[in-house]
Structure 1
């Protein structure tokens, strides 16, 4: 049965947390708060990075890309979740499910590629400081960012088609709060072993390989930082690198638990919780981590506020 023939299903039911209705109102408040904080935090990073000349560097160019990903990421999932938490019929249209799954995959894969790019930038800055301006020139930064987006969205096209072309034989109840590949595979009425193997292979490529590259680069970075004579210089270097490692741990840790850990009797609940971190908590934490632990961003934000205040007066 082809993808086109499956279009007779007009909508899917998202079970979400309907088995625990007492959770729905608290979750609505938490998700709405997270959404507002994420929008505000990431928008501020984009604004400050673009308006402050001192932040026109490769590091903040890539951070701006990360903020754009997080803004899109949380917007493709949370609004629908908020609607369903307050609705009796917790549904999503067929087209909405296709778009949500595609964007969830595409943005996640893009971030998986972008985070190692950011660690490469920090590796050059710390370990090859004299060559930094020559190596990390504007053209290379644009190319690395473009490659991240192209790989992420290209991978999503492939996985989305493989997922939606499977026959579902009238099954339309998704045991999740969003359209996600493992949950969609459970609706199929044919053997999905090949699809699960392909998803596992892609997860290894997009999760384990980037984590390995990041850890290797940070091993060299830590070695270089320890050679810095100034205690203040070492503290500043570890602080900015620490922010990136926290982001990496949150993002890849939940991604690996979603896609690479073996199934268990409680794997679906585990996957739901991991999806919350992967798609909601992580995008919210990124701007908080990068701003609260980054003196340059805080100073740039203060300068922007002063500039706005002086202009209005």
Structure 2
């Protein structure tokens, strides 16, 4: 066994049937970039100035960066016999993948808070949700996303790694990379798991709390008001459900390597792929602002 903490590169091992997955993943990636770019372009219209569209703009931007942190490299890997990534590039990819994943969930949490204020406290909504507050919430989401992966990534960077330098995954997945560590990595596992739980549970609990309060408020509304309030939450609830369900499937399929890789790829692409579709279908104002040919496709 070769022992080193200065590998020049890692080999990334990707599943078989490359051309099939290449074609599917390329199509999905193009749709993700096109759909989210269309959302970003549409919500910059002065007529769509509400906080919800500001948060949606940021969510679409994060989704594009999130998928771009791994999918282009994976597409190159499907066309090659061996896909390599530099030592430092591997840890940068790991950091940005986790960072953007957590940031996306934090923005979904901010959007849940926005819906809570709009439904449960409508008279003070405009006074509370000012543009400085919106910016502060988005900056907080980005800061939270950057903080969560820092300890685990820093600890992984300082470890010593043993050859062969083959990562059994499509990108620099932390759990796959830790299998190459020469020494005991139990502390790394604990730290990584702790911050993953903080990221998932804190955002999940806040979203759940927001919707419990929303549903309690809706129970005292008239039927027409209740349906109108529910309509404003449907798109967000759909996206949140897909996001957390996909994350759950990753942990369930963790022990089966090829299945875990496929599920991880689906996880990285599913929510960014569905976001523009769900919000375009569920939001009348957004559909009206889009080009006519886009509405026909939707």
Q: Distance in 1 between matches of 2:282 and 2:104?
A: 21
The whole-number CA distance in structure 1 between the counterparts of 2:31 and 2:56 is 17
Alignment map for 1:281-296 (pairs within 5 Å): 281-296=270-285
Change in Cα spacing, 1:253 to 1:271, as seen in structure 2 (3 Å) is same
> Separation in 1 of the partners of 2:265 and 2:250?
11
Number of residue equivalences: 291
CA RMSD of aligned residues (A): 2.1
2:286 match: secondary structure: helix
Once the 2 structures are TM-superposed, how far is the Cα of residue 184 of structure 1 from its aligned partner?
0.9
- The whole-number CA distance in structure 2 between the counterparts of 1:219 and 1:121 is 14
Structure 2 counterparts to residues 168-179 of structure 1, below 5 A:
168-179=161-172
Cα displacement string for residues 267-308 of structure 1 (whole angstroms, at most 9, x for unaligned residues): x34432332232112111111111111112101214899xxx
> Structure 2: how far apart are the matches of 1:197 and 1:303?
51
Question: 1:58 maps to which residue?
Answer: 51
Residue 97 to residue 69, structure 1, CA distance change in 2 (3 Å): same
* Separation in structure 2 between the aligned mates of residue 109 and residue 25 of structure 1, nearest angstrom: 31
TM-score by length of 2: 0.91
Using the TM superposition, give the Cα deviation of residue 70 of structure 1 relative to its aligned residue in structure 2, in angstroms.
0.4
Shift of 1:27: 0.7
- Give CA-to-partner distance per residue, 1:19-70, whole Å, 9 cap, x none: xx3x2111111110111100011111111111x2221111111111111100
Q: In 2, are the aligned partners of 1:66 and 1:111 still within 8 Å (CA)?
A: yes
- TM-score, normalised with respect to structure 1: 0.87
Q: Distance in 2 between matches of 1:25 and 1:249?
A: 31
Structure 1 residue 76: deviation in Å?
Answer: 0.9
- How far apart are residue 264 of structure 1 and its match? 6.3
Question: 2:192 matched to 1:199?
Answer: yes
Aligned-partner Cα distance in 2 for 1:151–1:265: 29
CA contact (8 A) 1:207 1:256 kept: no
Q: Establish whether residue 92 from structure 1 lines up as the match of residue 92 from structure 2.
A: no
Question: Where does residue 310 of structure 1 map in the other structure?
Answer: none
Counterpart in 2 of 1:49?
43
Task: Give the Cα separation in 2 of the matches to 1:156 and 1:297.
Answer: 34
Match of 1:213 in 2: 206
Contact 1:48-1:304 at 8 Å conserved across structures: no
Q: Does 1:78 align with 2:78?
A: no
SS in 2 for 1:53: coil
The correspondence for 1:298, drawn from 287, 291, 294, is 287
Task: Specify whether residues 247 and 97 from structure 1 end up closer, same or farther in structure 2 by C-alpha distance, changes over 3 A only.
Answer: same
Q: Is the 8 A contact 1:49 1:60 kept in 2?
A: yes
Cα contact 1:11–1:94 (8 A) shared by 2: yes
Alignment equivalent of 1:277, drawn from 228, 250, 266: 266
Deviations 1:146-205 (A, max 9, x none): 011112113333221111221112341011001111111111121111111111111111
Structure 1 gap segments, 5+ residues each = 306-313
Structure 2: gaps of 5 or more residues: none
Post-superposition CA distance 1:91-117 (Å, at most 9, x none): 222233122111101101212222111
CA distance in 1, matches of 2:260, 2:86: 22
* Residue 14 of structure 1: aligned partner: 12
Shift of 1:214: 0.9
Question: What is residue 227 of structure 2 aligned with on the other side?
Answer: 235
What is the match of residue 187 of structure 1?
180
Partner SS for 2:161:
coil
How far apart, in 2, do the equivalents of 1:303 and 1:234 lie? 31
- Alignment correspondent of 1:308: none
